[in-house]
Amino acid sequence: MNARTLSFIAQRIGGIALTLLIVSLMVFFVTALLPGDAAQQSLGQFATPEQLTALREQMGLNRPALVRYLSWLSGLLHGDMGLSLSSQTPITQLISGRLASSMTLGAVTAAISVPLALIIGIVSAMYRGSALDRGLNVVTMTTVAIPEFLIATLAVLIFAVKLKWVPALIFAHDVSTPWQFIRAYTLPVATLCCVITAQMARMTRAALVDQLGKPYIEMARLKGVRPVRLVLTHALPNTVGPIANAIAVSVSYLVGGAVIVETIFNYPGLAQLMVDGVANRDMPLIQACSMLFCTAYLILLIIADVCGVLSNPKLRTQ
């Protein structure tokens, strides 16, 4: 990497730090606007005002919002996410227990969906305007339009309830053999693949079609370059930036956007942990999960930006 590329990466890292600071402010004060709190949720609706006051003081909820924010931010910068108000367990411990599950689900989904999306996008661009291209466009547009909760619900009804091929709920800790892994992860992985593969495929096709209309591609075609080589050797390297951004945006959805899928399949991931935190009004847990999701999203975007710069000589010298 040259000095310009390193300077670009440093600027992006500085932008991430500033973005995370702004997000931390928004997350903290927006969650503070939620009705009720952990003390009221813990004691129930029949708690006396004295009991609520005592528990709020014990949990530190009676302090001013700005003081609580600065205390939370200071702990976050030192790697301390605080305690869960509902279970009095360190949030780092709760997240570490769910992080492996979320990463497994995301990794398996990405390993299947990314190559599949690239193949669909490349084939569709190579044969653009043909019946195959129109058929793939109809399939991808239909898949993008169908919400994931409907896909997940139909998958459970058909393959788990009617056919009984796979279980409807996932018990990740009980998976010990490859066959159990396949049975447990088939439905959630298939649902998430349907959600993100179609979008990545369409963006890949759009980037390739744009390059295939450039003069240098026409010149290569006039020289007799075969269509497959024309796409894979000449056009595809110039679409690394847009495709990398499409992959980053889609994969970032797997980090925290799979809330519906994890909830329907009772998957013990970070998204499900955040849903539990919302139900229990566990603000420190919600804030920690939100910051983790945002950090992962920004890291994926900066990786995509770096890939785009490294793949384009013009950007490396600007």
**pLDDT for residue 117:** 92
CB 307 within 8 A of CB 244: yes
SS3 for 83? strand
Evaluate whether residue 49 is within a structural domain. Answer: no
pLDDT at 115: 93
* pLDDT value at residue 2: 67
pLDDT of residue 46: 67
Q: Residue 302 and residue 245: Cα distance in Å, rounded?
A: 9
Question: Is residue 73 domain-resident?
Answer: yes
pTM given for the model: 0.79
- 197 in a structural domain: yes
Q: Is position 149 within any domain?
A: yes
- Domain-embedded: residue 57: no
Count of domains in the chain? 1
* pLDDT in the model for residue 120: 93
pLDDT at residue 247 in the model: 85
- What's the rounded Cα separation, in Å, for the pair 243 and 239? 6
Spell out the residues 6+ positions from residue 311 whose beta carbon is closer than 8 angstroms to its own: 237, 238, 240, 241, 244
What is the pLDDT, as a whole number, of residue 234?
A: 84
- DSSP, collapsed to helix, strand or coil, labels residue 266 as coil
In eight-state DSSP terms, residue 88 is -
Q: Please report whether residue 71 resides in a domain.
A: yes
Q: Which domain holds residue 145?
A: 3-33+64-317
Give yes or no for a contact between 256 and 298, defined as CB atoms under 8 angstroms apart.
no
Q: Is residue 264 part of a domain?
A: yes
What pLDDT is attached to residue 112?
92
Backbone angles phi, psi at 121, to 5 degrees: -65, -40
**CATH number of residue 145's parent domain:** 1.10.3720.10
Residue-level pLDDT at 257: 58
DSSP state of 224: T
Averages of pLDDT over each 10 residues, the chain, 318 residues: 73 85 85 68 69 74 79 83 80 85 87 92 88 91 86 88 81 72 86 88 89 86 84 84 83 74 83 82 83 86 79 61
The pLDDT value given to residue 116: 93
* Residue 40 within any structural domain of the chain: no
